[in-house]
Chains A and B, each alone.
Chain A
């Protein structure tokens, strides 16, 4: 660890705990608390990564996850941010996106052919002749991407929690800390979040060689820690802003979705690199990166460095470098004016300051692994030109760069903050903040430490007042002193390789050329050059891109505007975002019985329903046929508890039904059942069911499973509008239902009830309330799956008792449970079309032959007016029952095979099944109206293309066909 400094006060490493790890096959030592990058730099490792496009050697740029120069993989995970991820003992790491290792990446040849790859090159070639494109596409896809995905990576679902607070403070630098304690002292609940492991922000490392700030930071931290109404979340980032102050906070543990009453954004600023040739060499880094290395990890960024600056910040960096024992060969200030105060201080320390100079280019060592010198020359700040006549070389092994800042304003942008370019600080600052949003510190254009502290207090007081409490109204801070950002820190070079976007290897000329091709709007330029589209999302590049475009177009920066900011602030793992999902499911009280008896379940909405019951000796198909046959020959029993069940109480109940459904109910007798059909306003069939009249003022409605919630919801809405004298009670979950059907159904049921079940007394389409096996039950005589069938509706908890009693009583008769698959076949045999199966999102009742269910003479029902219009129009299709030829042995058509006539599509099959009872293939199909008559013949095209002849038969099959 040759680059390690003496102990720095406040350092983040634990020198007592040494660890070792492997990078690119070499073993390295580190201290606990080091990041992967800091440990590698401490050991003198030069090349830590390779760039995305040109495979140029790279190392630390920001050490803050503002770039992706250094991405590594441990073989399990990939694209690990080495700059900010703590190194762990025993890690085995390699760089991503290399061929043959980071030092000797074979793909680095691409750097030398980069002139062949102008901006947008992939639009310009490879597509002609067309037949060669697949080849080039393979080549390009092979070169694409960063890390390799590990297909064995475990499925990790992180916890997702919700939190609530009065004030969320994003960023725990000086402004954020001041804001947090101010809001907390006013009695508000505060959540303070910072992406770093330790709070303090730049106060921890921006020291200008002075250690006194450490005490100041400690004081702030102690104050914050002493307030119990501040909840601190460190090592977690605010990933985005969503409406109504919802901010997801992402940490290793998961996502904490914070719902705040107000948000103070004190997220600071990203340092921006000056742009000069080879500003991407390993050893060239941002000034703040050098400071982070020194004070957090006690690592010297280099031994003998040059500081290039276009603001006063570089002078502070130089002092920090000196403090760490780094020799500072020179400070090169691109500004003509320089910095009088700071220059004196540096000169005193023996550092030569070149004012009005630039770094024209960095010189690489012979193996291109680092810096051997900096070519500097006078700089025409007005024209942004290097005056190379007098250029000379300074020997050095590293360069620290400071040119200015871009606000870390992602959350502000996403919240809809208006931003304005402020020439006082040469930066975008908030000009119009949304309700409840506040900004403080650098992101607000406030840079001096004391001002940032005051700005934090000011923002907190604004938030306190926003929440209705008293607090002083402080004046906004106005920046004083040197401008923190340089308006145009660019050094053109004929040989380019002066990088603006390090993620995407974009140079100044790429912008110029894109503009030449017409992409001279910031959004078009972003899309054509891909600036800011890499994983760091423009954190280190967008501001320079805007400045360059402004210069190209001869416009002020604010006329260029900025690109839209979208979540996420940092790329966020899918396992975090997905997290533990909820998969609600509903079970009937008979579920355990079904399970014990071999049921195979199917999902119907949230419900688990028994599709069929597998026995040891039967296949699925056999089981379904046997279940259906039992209903025809003996008796069957099905759990229909998932049906929607709704009670309508009150004097207007019948009137309500007449408005809501297509039928007539006012004259329905108590004890009678009628069909209900629901349409939408366009006259499309939505659902159907049964209305049982239990009393003059009580109807019991049962509808299909899938639409149950929606039908009840629509009833509620209609009732709100109609304001009839009635009450709706949804008993879907409270009541279960059993359907027992088949020749012996009556006999079996009769053993459990005293009710007279004789058909004369209790005919089809009637309802009785009686006890079944001792339980009060609503018994509905339906003919859905068989003529002889009873639906038993009873409290869900008592249903198993009834079911077991029926099963027991049915044993002598061969009663058999059946599932939804057999039910499908049975209702088909009975000639019942099912909404959603035999209808689609456009089917009207005429098309399924349900004219009989539509009482057009009523004053009103939902969909009536549309039906009046449809009735005037020719029918376009008609659902008909059909059979295949007796003993048909060919390819079986399937649901949704088409009814065709040569090139014309006439219709389609909606249901088809083999019926063992009839020994025939039977089904429903849509055909043109001229083919709807019984005896009409049409052709179905099966999957293979074979044409299968079908014949229309009268409905229902059960009446028109003979038992086999």
Chain B
């Protein structure tokens, strides 16, 4: 089984984690059109590439962000939400 590194608990087999989907920034729901919202809810950036994803370490209850390439399945880094030092993943 693949290994994944929880920023709090270290490297663990994938069976200890729950996949939480791609981290996505919602459009401003006050200003966006219905079509934009529907696209946000349903559509995904399905093409392979580097993605930011939510992962959850079940035994400790830790959510974190993993940067993973969906083609190679290689994880480049993991960090707690808000601690990635990039602007894209700051919450609303």
Contact B37 A865, beta carbon cutoff 8 Å: yes
Contact B18 A713, beta carbon cutoff 8 Å: yes
Closest to B54 in A: A717
- Asked if B47 CB lies within 8 Å of chain A CBs, one says no
Contacts of A713 in B (CB 8 A): 18, 56, 61, 63
Q: Which of A240-248, A340-348, A473-481, A794-802 contacts B (4 or more CB under 8 A)?
A: A240-248
Query: What's the minimum C-beta distance from B36 to chain A, rounded to whole angstroms?
Result: 10
Contact B91 A242, beta carbon cutoff 8 Å: no
- Asked if B20 CB lies within 8 Å of chain A CBs, one says yes
Contacts of A723 in B (CB 8 A): 82, 91
- Asked if B71 CB lies within 8 Å of chain A CBs, one says no
Query: What's the minimum C-beta distance from B69 to chain A, rounded to whole angstroms?
Result: 13
Question: Which of A246, A860, A865 has most chain B Cβ within 10 Å?
Answer: A865
Contacts of B41 in A (CB 8 A): 681-682, 866
Selected from A244, A681, A716, the residue in CB contact (under 8 A) with B3 is: A244
Closest to B42 in A: A682
Contact A721 B81, beta carbon cutoff 8 Å: yes
Q: How many A-B residue pairs have CB under 8 A?
A: 52
Contacts of B29 in A (CB 8 A): 860, 864-865
A723 to B42, CA, bound (A): 26
Contacts of A720 in B (CB 8 A): 63, 80-82, 91
- Asked if A139 CB lies within 8 Å of chain B CBs, one says no
Contact B20 A717, beta carbon cutoff 8 Å: yes
A897 to B40, CA, bound (A): 35
Selected from B38, B42, B61, B91, the residue in CB contact (under 8 A) with A721 is: B91
A723 to B92, CA, bound (A): 10
Contact A722 B1, beta carbon cutoff 8 Å: no
With contacts A717-B56, A720-B81 taken as known, whether A244 is within 8 angstroms of B2 at the C-beta atoms is yes
Closest to B29 in A: A865
- Asked if A869 CB lies within 8 Å of chain B CBs, one says yes
Contacts of A717 in B (CB 8 A): 20, 54, 56, 63
Q: How many residues of B contact A (CB 8 A)?
A: 24
Contact B37 A866, beta carbon cutoff 8 Å: yes
Closest to A873 in B: B34
- Asked if B16 CB lies within 8 Å of chain A CBs, one says no
Contacts of B26 in A (CB 8 A): 681
With contacts A243-B2, A682-B42, A716-B63 taken as known, whether A869 is within 8 angstroms of B81 at the C-beta atoms is no
0/1 string, A702-745, CB within 8 A of B gives 1: 00000000000100110011110000001000000000000000
A720 to B92, CA, bound (A): 11
A272 to B34, CA, bound (A): 65
Selected from A246, A682, A721, A730, the residue in CB contact (under 8 A) with B1 is: A246
Contacts of A730 in B (CB 8 A): 61
A868 to B3, CA, bound (A): 42
Contacts of A243 in B (CB 8 A): 1-3, 73
Query: What's the minimum C-beta distance from A256 to chain B, rounded to whole angstroms?
Result: 14
A682 to B41, CA, bound (A): 6
Among all A-B residue pairs, the 10 with the closest Cβ atoms: A721-B91, A865-B29, A244-B3, A243-B2, A720-B81, A869-B34, A865-B37, A717-B63, A682-B41, A720-B63
Besides the known contacts A242-B2, A681-B26, A720-B80, 7 further A-B residue pairs in the complex with CB atoms under 8 A apart: A242-B1, A244-B1, A681-B40, A713-B63, A716-B56, A721-B91, A723-B82
A-B contact pairs, 21 of them (CB 8 A): A242-B1, A243-B3, A244-B3, A246-B1, A681-B26, A713-B18, A713-B56, A716-B61, A716-B63, A721-B81, A721-B91, A721-B92, A722-B91, A723-B91, A730-B61, A865-B29, A866-B37, A866-B41, A869-B34, A869-B37, A869-B38
- Which B residues are within 8 Å of any A CB, using their own CB? 1-3, 18, 20, 26, 29, 32, 34, 37-38, 40-42, 54, 56, 61, 63, 73, 80-82, 91-92
